[in-house]
Amino acid sequence: MTDFFHKTLSSGLQLVGEEMPGVQSAAFAFYVRAGAREESWDVAGLGHLTEATMFRGTESRSSRDLTNALDALGVGRGSSAGIEQTLFSGILLGDNLLEALDIFVDVLRNAAFPEEELEAVRELQLQEIRQRQDHPDRLVMDRARQFFYAGHGAGNDILGSPESVAGLTRDQVRTWKWDRYAPNTMLFSVAGRFQWDQVAERLDGLTSGWTTVNEPLDIPEPPINPAITVHQTEAAQENLCFVYPAVPYGDRDYYEAALTSMVLGGGMHSRLASEVREKRGLVYSVGSRFDGMEKSGLTRIYAGTRPDRARETVEVIHAELERLQASAVAEDELSRAKTKLKSRLVMSSESSGSRAMTIGRDWWYMRRYRTLREVSAAIDAVDVSGIRSYLDRTAPYRNLALLALGPLSAADLGLPEGSFQTSAAPA
């Protein structure tokens, strides 16, 4: 039996926590409402540069002070700048949690961005951009999202471009942080072993007097670009990423979307694994991934195949999507997908790190706490007709995008000009 707590401090910081008996670890995360979708093109990468420089010194602690202090507490930690929010997380023995929070809040509140540190981080970000080029399977997934939402912040490149990153200034970083990192734009989540009253009291003290910022503007739902894009580049495989629209986190059809993705491409018994890999040996790696965010969601299908098999791979996946749109899913497929998803949820809930993220996300997007039982029930409630309605509502096959990254041209791949939709018969 786990205990859930939530509180909003007088500073505005929201807290959620779930106690897990029997563990010694405590995992936590600070969510900040700062994301790449807010960046104009000339400052692309600013959110990431800011996030990556946060731990390089505060007003009272140098980079070395911070690193040594956190290492002495045994905090495994990370941070990541996303499209909609920025995350700072840690995991450690629960006994050390309060001291770790002292340091994390100092960083979030008083990060100083020393000039030479900023320059070093800029170098690393430029390297990260180059590195991504060297991993076409990751690059294709990222770029596919960018093309799908091109023209809207949801399609921004988190890393930015070499040009935009080279031009970012310390003032821009400080302003970005000043405008966005404040208790009223942040959420703290914790799971594992902790004393709630002590945590709340500590964070209350640490965030007291921290100036709030204006409520961020509401960002509208992004329109989509269901286009076909082909980038030719030297690679041993042709990397394919199909994209279709889904639904936001917490949407009424969220589990319909998740289960559809699972039936389609969520494991070795999925449709894509069966048709593309098992039966035809076209790929090693093929799968589908659903992401639900604040205002939108998308499903991306990845396949990596040798150039001489790429055309067939495209055809087979495209045919599977047509079949999905036409006939939805079968009872037995859906039943197995539910078993799998529920099992995954229960198993991942054994990890304090995973639990801290899950309750954090639920609160961030939905302002709700859901027990495992509640989520299981929501999954169980999905039926074949619900998936049919979901597919009618979102029409994946009629809003399909594709990005191909590899040695082949559109003609080599047998792709129509522009998009699948312009060449398809009316629905």
Can you tell me which of 4, 12, 63, 219 binds another protein, judged by CB under 8 A? 63
Q: Minimal distance in Å, beta carbon 316 to another protein?
A: 14
Residue that the structure tokens 């709630």 belong to: 196
Can you tell me which of 3, 201, 278, 315 binds another protein, judged by CB under 8 A? 278
Q: Minimal distance in Å, beta carbon 339 to another protein?
A: 5
Q: Minimal distance in Å, beta carbon 5 to another protein?
A: 20
Interaction mask 289-308, another protein, x per CB under 8 A: ---------------xxx--
Q: Does 168 bind another protein (CB under 8 A)?
A: no
Interaction mask 42-61, another protein, x per CB under 8 A: --------------x-----
Q: Does 122 bind another protein (CB under 8 A)?
A: yes
Residue that the structure tokens 């449709």 belong to: 271
Q: Minimal distance in Å, beta carbon 235 to another protein?
A: 5
Interaction mask 198-237, another protein, x per CB under 8 A: -----------------------------------xxxxx
Taking CB under 8 A as the binding criterion, the range among 133-141, 248-256, 378-386, 389-397 that sits at the site for another protein is 133-141
Taking CB under 8 A as the binding criterion, the range among 4-12, 67-75, 100-108, 377-385 that sits at the site for another protein is 67-75
Cα 236 to Cα 252: distance, rounded to the nearest angstrom:
42
- Of residues 17 through 46, those in contact with another protein by CB under 8 A are 21-25
List the structure tokens of 149.
Answer: 């939402």
Which residue, 77 or 300, has its beta carbon nearer to another protein? Answer: 77
In the chain the first and final C-alpha atoms are separated, in Å, by 50
Residue that the structure tokens 């594992």 belong to: 192
Q: Does 62 bind another protein (CB under 8 A)?
A: no
- Of residues 247 through 276, those in contact with another protein by CB under 8 A are 267-269, 273-274
Q: How many residues bind another protein (CB under 8 A)?
A: 74
- Of residues 346 through 375, those in contact with another protein by CB under 8 A are 346-347, 350-352
Which residue, 161 or 389, has its beta carbon nearer to another protein? Answer: 161
Taking CB under 8 A as the binding criterion, the range among 8-16, 241-249, 345-353, 389-397 that sits at the site for another protein is 345-353
Taking CB under 8 A as the binding criterion, the range among 129-137, 169-177, 250-258, 360-368 that sits at the site for another protein is 129-137
Q: Minimal distance in Å, beta carbon 281 to another protein?
A: 3
- Of residues 68 through 97, those in contact with another protein by CB under 8 A are 68, 70-74, 76-77, 91-93
Can you tell me which of 166, 208, 284, 383 binds another protein, judged by CB under 8 A? 284
Taking CB under 8 A as the binding criterion, the range among 65-73, 101-109, 245-253, 293-301 that sits at the site for another protein is 65-73
Q: Minimal distance in Å, beta carbon 120 to another protein?
A: 3
Three-state SS for the chain is CCEEEEEECCCCCEEEEEECCCCCEEEEEEEECCCHHHCCHHHCCHHHHHHHHHHHEECCCEHHHHHHHHHHCCCEEEEEECCCCEEEEEEEEHHHHHHHHHHHHHHHHHECCCHHHHHHHHHHHHHHHHHHHCCHHHHHHHHHHHHHCCCCHHHCCCCCCHHHHHHCCHHHHHHHHHHHCCHHHEEEEEEECCCHHHHHHHHHHHHCCCCCCCCCCCCCCCCCCCCEEEEECCCCCEEEEEEEECCCCCCCCHHHHHHHHHHHHCCCCCHHHHHHHHCCCCCCCEEEEEEECCCCEEEEEEEEECHHHHHHHHHHHHHHHHHHHHHCCCHHHHHHHHHHHHHHHHHHCCCHHHHHHHHHHHHHHHCCCCCHHHHHHHHHCCCHHHHHHHHHHHCHHHHCEEEEEECCCHHHHCCCCCCHHHHCCCC
Q: Which amino acid is at 305?
A: T
